[in-house]
Amino acid sequence: MRPGEWCYRLKEILKGSDSFVVPDEPLAQHTSFRIGGKAALMVVVNKELGLRKVRQFCTENRLLVEILGKGTNVLISDQGIPGVVVKLGGEFGLIDVQGDKIMAGAAASLDDISEIAEANGLAGAEFLAGIPGTVGGGLVTNAGAYGKSLSAITLEVTVMDAIGNIRVLRKEELKNQYRQPVIPGEFWALRLVLILSKGETKPVKAIREERRSKHPPEPSAGSFFKNPPGIPAGRLIEECGLKGLRVGDACISELHANFIVNKGSARFGDVYELAQIVKAEVEERTGIELEEEVRFLPVGPERR
């Protein structure tokens, strides 16, 4: 099938499901890096029924499919994604509080969760303040800050498999490793339940402002490398004298060395080349091999 046929068939399949299909959508508009080519098709899905239909269609037709949240932790190829990119909205963005638990959809903002928890007198989610991603993206990377992570407060996650089946993964089935996926890669998160506690914490506004004061204002994908055990990646990069290093319009931030920023018209190749230079320099000078925290899309078979 060609993209035009995918588009026609998906539009027919998704009628009445509060979803819509957009061909040739520029992905740079959907990422915090402002980098990336076009998606052959973007499908915006607002209800669970529509998501099931999209996932079944892509699986049955062996189409490349990627689910994209706010695009805050990804670097997308300039060639784009030659398949289907799914964006969640509608019911997937809902957040609900019940006692000491918060239920949040996969498209819900992590920062919003911290604010709602505070407003309801719940402690334990304040470290999410200022993190720009969504619940779904947070589960892919086990988002966190200040030594705390999303998996630590997650009670359960409702997921969808490749053929549209839905199940609930309980706490004991979830992973709790630094910057590693919380749920297996074959699943898409639909929503989660967080378990918190009554109590007061440092105000979310103060935490958010503290984070923003340390992060560069230019477009980026956040912290580019994972922190090796015992030392921040940014400190290693700075001690190697790499702040301000530039390839094209991709640059190591002068404010925070673990940020690669887009100075205007950076391309995928600029960022990728700069990242490889940083990794090589740090390994040569310290013996430490840095690992990317940012995900490269599309994901090739060797990275799946």
State the catalytic residue, choosing from 19, 114, 220, 223. 223
Are 61 and 118 spatial neighbours (Cβ–Cβ below 8 Å)? Answer: no
How many angstroms separate the CA atoms of 194 and 192, rounded?
Answer: 7
- Please name the residue ranges forming H helices in the chain: 3-13, 48-60, 110-119, 135-141, 204-214, 233-239, 268-286
- Please give the Cα distance from 170 to 172 (Å, whole number): 6
151 catalytic per annotation: no
211 flagged as catalytic? no
Please name the residues in contact with 291: beta carbons below 8 A apart, sequence gap of 6 or more.
225, 226
Distance CA 94, CA 106 (A): 9
Residue 293 among the catalytic residues: yes
DSSP string, 131-179: --SBHHHHHHHT-EETTEEGGGGEEEEEEE-TTS-EEEEEGGGS---TT
> Of residues 52, 179, 191, 208, which has the active-site annotation?
179
- Name the residues annotated as catalytic: 179, 223, 293
